[in-house]
Amino acid sequence: MSAAVKAVLPLGLLFVVPFNPTLLSDNNCFSRNFYGNYRDGDSTVSVTVARLDDAACTEFWSNEVDEASLSAAPEAGRSAVWLERAAMEEGLVSESTASDTLDDLLESLNRPVQEYRGYDSAGGEEIVLKSEESGLQPGYTVHYRTEHAALVSLDSGKALAVDTLLPPFWKSKLLPSTPVSYIPVPDSATDAVRSILSDLKFDPVVASIVGNISIPQIKKDIRHLTGEDESSGIISRHSFSDGAIVAAEWLKARVEETGASCTLAPFLTGFAPNVICRYEAVEETNATVLISGHYDSRGSFGSTRAPGGDDDGSGTVGVLSIARVIGRKGVKFHSNVELAFFAGEEQGLLGSRAYARELREAGANLTLMVQADMTAYRAPGEPLQLGLPARIGTPEVTQLVANISAIYSPELHVGITTACCSDHQSFHEQGFPATQVFERAGSIADPMYHNSGDLSDREGYDFEQLFAIAKVQFATVLHTAGYEL
């Protein structure tokens, strides 16, 4: 690094550094002051902060890191938000509006956020956040920018809701308020996953259990969540909407009917809670297998409708369909099995980040986790597909899921997706083996991505693919946790 950079190092500084798994795997300044990995076009970068008070850190940044972009940390009362262009198919992007350039996007950050009512994480009364009352200020500071991404800071209240200002193909991710340690997945955990893979062979009972997932029931469930079935009363499942709370309570009730115990777990004031459900193991063990989706969604700018039929109603009803079979067949497990429905995913994996940290602090023994996010959309003319993450995730879990897919859903063409990162990232970065199942090998092709038209009754929404991917997620649980009937 240059002498000029060294001279300013003692200040509080944000660093944006090309993704380097080797640096992250050492317990060093970089991994102990971690804010997350983020997408920047075709590359991945890590954001960390330099500590003011640690000479070893100054030494580290001067000697170990060749390439970094740095800026002052946000001022008090302001929060940092990463803005990134989603990995979209070319054809979709060229059709998009002119407001898709980064300059226009930054300009849009000066608009006020809509008033929203939120869930009080203290469990008290519902809160209402309004632009005037909460003192949301216009203005933003750019800390880093390229063609495809930017790191900005803005008023902390506004930062929570910044996704509501963005055009569909841009995503916002709120950085944690304080850095955490990046915890690499330990060898003992990946060895355990490898051993499940090496024992893997076709089990006719598993095939018959996963084959009991009901497509007609999935069709009903998704119409309930999107509000296509108007009797549900759900118009939006945006994390701040009333509909999200209705959906959370409905999911809790449905999964409890199958023999699990569920809790609504608030994680941040203003956001709908996570729904965490658990089937206790039939034997004494703390080993736990987790599958999940996110039930919150995003609509078009300025619209109150956020049906999230594919993103991520598909993953959500897939997990619910698994619960329904567990209940119907009376499946019992040799490990504890958890089903999680996260909120706050669209604002930067906030619900899962809170839960992953909670499990880490509790010393949880998570054998693996598999997040389903967007499993239903299939572009015309393409085969049924299963996309697995290219970079962020645990390769051993990804391999296990790929091999399970070949056995129980051979109709799926398995490949790598660049549509990085859903809630599995939160677990992977806390040292838990984790991966994601996605609808496509390649980038996002769904024209209704982050759009108020993301309904289930439309061209390309494919229940056979949703079903095939849910079978893979379920078979992974059965093979990993062990089961009896």
Dist. CA 209–CA 114, nearest whole Å: 46
What is the DSSP track for 103-140?
HHHHHHTTSPPPPEEE--TTSSSPEEE-TTTTT----E
- Beta-carbon-side half-sphere exposure of residue 420 (alpha carbons within 13 Å): 20
Residues that bind Zn ion (CB under 5 A): 311-312, 373
Dist. CA 429–CA 43, nearest whole Å: 18
The CB-of-197 to ligand NAG minimum distance in angstroms stands at 5
Residue nearest to ligand NAG (CB): 287
Task: Return the number of the residue (132 or 187) whose C-beta is nearest ligand NAG.
Answer: 187
Dist. CA 454–CA 191, nearest whole Å: 40
Provide the residue type at 247 as one letter. Answer: A
Single residue of 58, 99, 403, 443 touching ligand NAG by CB under 6 A:
403
Measured over the CA atoms of residue 35, residue 344, residue 311 and residue 315, the dihedral's sign is positive
Angle at alpha carbon of residue 477, lines to 261 and 289, rounded to 5°: 60
Task: Return the number of the residue (153 or 371) whose C-beta is nearest Zn ion.
Answer: 371
Given Zn ion, ligand NAG, none, residue 287, with its beta carbon under 5 to 8 Å by kind, binds ligand NAG
- Considering only residues 327 through 356, tell me which ones interact with ligand NAG, judged by CB under 6 A: 328-329
Dist. CA 467–CA 63, nearest whole Å: 51
Of 133-141, 161-169, 285-293, 469-477, the window that binds ligand NAG (rule: CB under 6 A) is: 285-293
Given Zn ion, ligand NAG, none, residue 1, with its beta carbon under 5 to 8 Å by kind, binds none
**Would you say 436 and 427 are in contact if contact means Cβ atoms under 8 Å apart?**
no
Of 143-151, 279-287, 371-379, 383-391, the window that binds ligand NAG (rule: CB under 6 A) is: 279-287
H/E stretch holding 325 reads: helix 313-329
Task: Return the number of the residue (258 or 321) whose C-beta is nearest Zn ion.
Answer: 321
The CB-of-148 to Zn ion minimum distance in angstroms stands at 19
Measured over the CA atoms of residue 89, residue 297, residue 437 and residue 352, the dihedral's sign is positive
Q: Does 127 bind ligand NAG (CB under 6 A)?
A: no
Task: Return the number of the residue (66 or 361) whose C-beta is nearest ligand NAG.
Answer: 361
Task: Return the number of the residue (429 or 439) whose C-beta is nearest Zn ion.
Answer: 439
Q: Which residues contact 64 (CB under 8 A, 6 or more apart)?
A: 23, 28, 30
- Considering only residues 196 through 215, tell me which ones interact with ligand NAG, judged by CB under 6 A: 197-198, 200, 212, 214
The CB-of-322 to ligand NAG minimum distance in angstroms stands at 13
Given Zn ion, ligand NAG, none, residue 311, with its beta carbon under 5 to 8 Å by kind, binds Zn ion
The CB-of-366 to ligand NAG minimum distance in angstroms stands at 9
Given ligand NAG, Zn ion, none, residue 198, with its beta carbon under 5 to 8 Å by kind, binds ligand NAG
CA 368 vs CA 8, 64, 155, 202, 291: distances in Å: 42, 32, 37, 20, 9
Task: Return the number of the residue (127 or 390) whose C-beta is nearest ligand NAG.
Answer: 390
Single residue of 25, 263, 286, 304 touching ligand NAG by CB under 6 A:
286
Of 8-16, 52-60, 283-291, 412-420, the window that binds ligand NAG (rule: CB under 6 A) is: 283-291
Measured over the CA atoms of residue 409, residue 412, residue 416 and residue 417, the dihedral's sign is negative
Binding site for ligand NAG (CB under 6 A): 197-198, 200, 212, 214, 285-287, 328-329, 363, 365, 403, 406
